[in-house]
Amino acid sequence: MAEVGTLHEALVDELKDLYNAEKQLTKALPKMAKNATSAPLRQALISHLKETQTQVRRLEQAMRLLDEKVEGKLCDGMQGILKEGNKMMEEVEAGPVLDACLIAGGQRAEHYEIGAYGTCIVWEKQMGHREVVRLLTQTLNEEKAADKKLSKLAESGINAAADFGMEEEEEE
């Protein structure tokens, strides 16, 4: 039995999926940061954690603006990406290689989100939900920036970054 019959319902479904995906990420990012050796990488993950918490709030606002109940729906896609990430953190020894793998996993998550937000924004535009478009475009831009930052860290050579990271024994 189909439960989604209109584009509005499809949009709400996507927002619930994203809401759950972002919440999963707020739980995963601290562990990823803890496993990072490179200080710049750790910083990038922690700063994206803060953005992600804001993104959760924006989705709540978006659902309220649409007069929908604020609730999530298990995001299997993000769960799969994070499951792979967890396996990787168990298997790879801390250091430059794990850092490279953390970037790879982080970028998978960002790309998933970029795809999902991009779709939602197109649909919201079609349905004239301008305030929701405005909100989620802020998030989409943060996801793109986070992805770019991770690319730069990968390109800058994680070895140099790893050396830098080992000198400090972590403040908050």
Contact call for residues 32 and 107 (beta carbons, < 8 A):
no
Contact call for residues 152 and 27 (beta carbons, < 8 A):
no
Closest residue (Cβ) to Zn ion?
Answer: 8
Q: Hey, which residues between 122 and 151 contact Fe ion (CB under 5 A)?
A: 143
Q: Does 113 bind Fe ion (CB under 5 A)?
A: yes
If the CB atoms of residues 139 and 162 are measured against Fe ion, the closer one turns out to be: 139
Buried b (16+ CB within 10 A) or exposed e, 72-102: beebebbeebbeebeebbeeeeeebebbbbb
Interface with Zn ion by CB under 5 A: which residues? 8, 127
Binding mask 51-90 for Fe ion (x = CB under 5 A): -x--x-----------------------------------
Q: How far is CA 72 from the centre of its chain?
A: 15
Binding site for Fe ion (CB under 5 A): 22, 52, 55, 113, 143
